[in-house]
Structure 1
Amino acid sequence: MKVTCKNCNQIYTGHYCNNCGQTAETHRINFHFLWHEIRHSLFHFDEGILYSGKQLFTRPGHTIREFIEGKRIKHLKPISLVIILASLYGFMYHYFHISFVEPSSNGPSETGIDNVKFNEWMGTHYAWTTLLLIPLYTIGTSIAFRKQGYNLVEYFILNTFKASQKLFVHIALFPLLYLFNGTHTMTTLSFTIYLIDVVFIYWTNAQFFNKLSLKKSFLLTLLSQLIFLSCLFLIIFVVDLILKNL
């Protein structure tokens, strides 16, 4: 049966307009419509998070490669996923007053940065900080794995999913942060969590770049981390230099 699209007036057959994607069946906006939309939105929202989370811990590299190649319908959008998880972690970080600064390190550091204020700023801007670090990870990955045939944006998507994977891990390990918060153990714990992050990054890279040997994936993963850390320390050095001259 021919249908005239109520959105763009395209005449078509089927359940969706082949011009703009509007559904053929449109219902009157009432309480029934509102309830249906709420249930539909929440179901697909939760389903997307759960699906992406499961995939990132069962077959991370394979599912990210498939997403880049076009298999995307079940995933929550990668940037949206990062923002949601980072906002949740940032809220927990801020609400429970988590501090990676040792008790003896409170107040201004040797660089003149107030550790307490910096820690508080990190808690309230965690989502933005996470997003801003993704390009640095992308630089490291794109240089280390430059011969694998992906463009810069595809490497960005890869590292966006890695950031979500890392946030899932950090949220799962949050009880340990709360337990040892404000103690000298936090330094060891934060380093241990970083090593766990690197293990997951390697696992993801080994699956994503599945044409490489495990040894080469491992070495290139370490190289990408060194490039990321170099970029990060360079930015911190420049910012610190600017602050000292203000």
Structure 2
Amino acid sequence: MSEEFCSNCRQNVKPKRIDGRYIIHEIEHVLHFERGILYTIRELLIRPGENIKHFISENRSRLVKPIIFIIVTSLIYTLINHLFHIEEGYIKFEDANGSQANPINNWIQSHYGYSNIIMGGFIAFWLKVFFKKYDYNFFEILILLCFVLGMEMLIFSVFAILEGITHIHSMAIATVIILVYFSWAVGQFFDKTKTASYVKALVSYILGMLTFGIALLILGTLTALITKYYI
């Protein structure tokens, strides 16, 4: 057997050199329609709750991995945001002196993927409280939120492009659509036959955002105090 292949697994002993063709292949691997990000977006637009439930309990090969999905979609929004200079952040707050807590706020705006996952943890807590009778643990709910929040970033991206091209302030409309989408997707995930599921989903989202904002405010205040007295 050729020395280029392993005698046991028949795989290349030395991988091929990375070139332009390799990069294109990797991009196609992520963006291909079947079981790729476009397929995932389509399924999350049509039947979000049902598809995510199916991903968690039955088949995890049909959709893009949730962590990859939220990071890629957050990156798309970040690039569009920088391209059109739309300075819209999830949370903006001020410290005791009335000045914006720039380091924390800037980190959030520069790392939407990670901040979305962290924010998802707060929302997941409230979903666990309101839907405690359902047999989903915290991490399964967090996976649900990775998909839903990823779709939110794409919705924001569409309206960011629209605002960047037309200069018409449309992010408020995007926020309303996102609230509706979140309630619909999460409510469908838990029990699509009950109106209460959609209401509890919306309340959980609002409370999650509020507690996330409060946590950031506390962190910003503590950081300011430490900086003032110990540095």
TM range (shorter): 0.7 to 0.9
Letter of the 1:128 partner, please give it.
Y
The alignment status of 1:6 with 2:8, answered yes or no, reads yes
**1:203 and 1:239, CA in 2 relative to 1: closer, same or farther beyond 3 A?**
same
User: TM-score under structure 2 normalisation?
Assistant: 0.76
Counting aligned pairs with the same residue, the percent is 23
Task: Give the Cα–Cα distance (whole angstroms) in 2 for the partners of residues 119 and 238 of structure 1.
Answer: 13
Report Cα offsets for 1:157-181 as digits up to 9, x if no partner.
Answer: 0111111111121122222332476
- Corresponding residue to 1:230 among 204, 210, 219: 210
Task: Give the Cα–Cα distance (whole angstroms) in 2 for the partners of residues 73 and 49 of structure 1.
Answer: 12
Structure 1, unaligned stretches of length 5 or more?
8-24, 102-106
Give runs of aligned pairs for residues 210-229 of structure 1, distance below 5 A: 210=191, 212-213=193-194, 215-229=195-209
Q: How many residues align?
A: 214
Deviation at 1:31, TM superposition (A): 6.5
Report Cα offsets for 1:52-80 as digits up to 9, x if no partner.
Answer: 11111011101000000131112211101
Counterpart of 2:100 in 1: which secondary structure? coil
Give the structure 1 partner of residue 30 of structure 2. 45
Report Cα offsets for 1:33-63 as digits up to 9, x if no partner.
Answer: x999777644432121111111110111010
Give the structure 1 partner of residue 98 of structure 2. 111
Give the structure 1 partner of residue 126 of structure 2. 140
Query: Contact (CA 8 Å) 2:73, 2:151: kept in 1 or not?
Result: no
Query: Contact (CA 8 Å) 2:101, 2:220: kept in 1 or not?
Result: no
Task: Give the Cα–Cα distance (whole angstroms) in 1 for the partners of residues 85 and 96 of structure 2.
Answer: 20
Give runs of aligned pairs for residues 53-202 of structure 1, distance below 5 A: 53-100=41-88, 111-113=98-100, 121-179=107-165, 186=169, 189-202=170-183
Counterpart of 1:71 in 2: which secondary structure? coil
**1:209 and 1:82, CA in 2 relative to 1: closer, same or farther beyond 3 A?**
same
**1:193 and 1:35, CA in 2 relative to 1: closer, same or farther beyond 3 A?**
closer
Structure 2, unaligned stretches of length 5 or more?
1-6
- Indicate the structure (1 or 2) with the bigger Cα radius of gyration: 1
Query: Contact (CA 8 Å) 1:139, 1:227: kept in 2 or not?
Result: no
RMSD: 3.5
Query: Contact (CA 8 Å) 2:75, 2:112: kept in 1 or not?
Result: yes
Deviation at 1:27, TM superposition (A): 5.9
Counterpart of 2:114 in 1: which secondary structure? helix
